Amino acid sequence: MTSKTLKIAGACLVVAAVSVGLYAVDRPDRAADKAPAAAQSKTATPAVPVTATKVVQHDVPIVLEGLGTVTPINTATIRTQVQGTLDSVDFVEGKQVKRGDVLARIDPRVYEAQVDQAEAALARDEASLKNARTNLARTQPLANRGFATQQLLDTQDSQVAQGEGTVALDKAALEAAQTQLSYATISAPFDGVTGIRRIDPGNVVHPTDTNGLVVLTQLQPIAVIFTLPSGDIPGIRQALASGDASVDVYDAQNKQKLDHGSLMLINNQVDSSTGTVQLKASFPNAGNTLWPGTFVNVHLTIAVRHNALTVPLTAVRQGPDGAFAYTVGANNVVGIRNVTTGQSRDGQVLVEQGLDANETVVIAGQYRLNPGTTVEIVPDDKKDQVQDATTASAGMLP
């Protein structure tokens, strides 16, 4: 190794030694500066994103919901009351008929003959009565002057009474014959819609026929029979007495409103096997949206709670001590509030106790919350993202 190489190596060692010294002097200061920053990064907790809303104060209807069946107020199987040949059917199947409209006619000749016989018998006996009264009128003066016996007078008087009884009997027989004749024309007993015709003209019909001619069903108005728990009876009776009971009926999916009506009655007995009671409501059914035999959902309004508080159903959680909700206070810090709830419908729940109007409650993202947690309120249109993120973070917890 030459002397020149030795000099270069020595210079490099000197430079390295100086650099190490400078690093040793500078490193403790830099480490000391970065330590608080690292501690802050470990202690600082980011705000939890949640969706929140205000507690709303407004009038809330108290609604009881039950499942019901559409039932006609009037329905009848139209049968003949006399035997005979069906001459004609005067209705169109499935069409509306009015009370008194002719539905069918039976061959009336036999019953017309019976009426003629009754009228003839009445005329004969009325003539006999007239003769008896004439004889009595002749005998009465003679008996008063002693030219006729009392026995003859009594006989004439009894013949008049007998004739009067016979005439009364004939009149009753005539009325019966006329009634039988009227049964040959079958009329609608009420407004309704006819069903499927069950017999054709030319057939002989009898009063004992099981199927009858047709079934007539009243559609306007129409009734719905539904059930509710027996514990609701006191509130329903109070609503009936005050006139506040109103009923809305919805389709089987409970989405489309079909009609609005009124409560007619509460059944006089509770079904002990189910603990429910039947109720009957009437609906005008102007558009024929209610059809007999269909299942519907009934919403019975029994009262209106004024200035009541409601929150979305997702705001109320269940814990060991009952229902609670997360409230957002000053500086977006979360607190827990025990609540007492009432009815829940249409995604809203009635708050009886525990919250005040216009308070802010969390409706999505509660799984990462604890009392004192700082939250970031995100718009409602990002609610699904908050729920997905919360669910994912909850799934990664040990």
Q: Containing H/E element for 362?
A: strand 360-364
Mean pLDDT confidence for 194-222: 94
Give the tokens for residue 174.
């005539």
| pLDDT score of 145 | 82
| pLDDT score of 60 | 92
Question: Band of the pLDDT at 313, cuts 50, 70, 90?
Answer: very high
| pLDDT score of 387 | 55
Which residues, listed in sequence order, are joined to residue 187 by a DSSP beta bridge? Answer: 102
Nearest Cα residue to 114 out of 165, 180, 170, 168:
180
Per CATH, 49-59+308-395 and 108-183 having the same topology is answered no
Question: Band of the pLDDT at 24, cuts 50, 70, 90?
Answer: very low
Nearest Cα residue to 341 out of 320, 363, 360, 325:
325
Q: Where are the domains of the chain?
A: 49-59+308-395, 108-183
Strand order in the sheet with 96-97: 75-78, 214-217, 192-194, 96-97
CA dist 125 and 129 (Å) reads 6
* 262 SS3 class: strand
Q: Containing H/E element for 148?
A: none
The answer to which of 32-46, 201-215, 255-269 has the lowest mean pLDDT is: 32-46
CA–chain centroid gap for 321, Å, is 35
| pLDDT score of 151 | 85
Q: Containing H/E element for 288?
A: none
| Predicted structure pTM score | 0.69
Share of the chain above pLDDT 70, in %: 84
317 CB-side CA count, 13 A: 16
| pLDDT score of 32 | 43
What is the CATH number that goes with domain 108-183?
1.10.287
Architecture of domain 49-59+308-395: Beta Barrel (2.40)
Residue length of the chain: 398
Question: Band of the pLDDT at 146, cuts 50, 70, 90?
Answer: confident
Contact 374, 332 (CB under 8 A): yes
